[in-house]
Structure 1
């Protein structure tokens, strides 16, 4: 009994779709930089912004919002295509 090439590949790799993500999985959004990430100069992104700068309030405020309940579009990532930018990061702009 000889196996066709397709049957051999299927049996070796666990099927033609082995290793592919299921269609119902969602891609993550493209997110901004981690503010605690150390950089060459200055050491962290937070070093660019003073302690009393309103940007820190905006950052914390938007992080605390439930964007889905506010009705913002594209809060949930799409199944296909390139990941979009995180809606929270865009709101902070």
Structure 2
């Protein structure tokens, strides 16, 4: 059994967790305020942008943390496998 590479795990997590969140929240991150807008509209736009940024950052953390943990586990398992193979190989 071969473990998938950490980059493919990161790509899968990015595609399932971060990309949909970023796509959904993009209008709130790119929102613009005009000079004549009322203060309530400016405050709501600012709040929506902050919440969208926080959710995007949370989704990015939910991708980065498992990817980093998987990379460490992959390195340990691959190293142990190579070590076992090195000792079991007879010349």
For Structure 1 versus Structure 2, the TM-score category normalised by the shorter chain is: under 0.3
Higher relative contact order (CA 8 A, sep 6+): 2
Provide the TM-score with structure 2 as the length reference.
Answer: 0.28
- Bigger fraction of residues in helix: 2
Provide the TM-score with structure 1 as the length reference.
Answer: 0.27
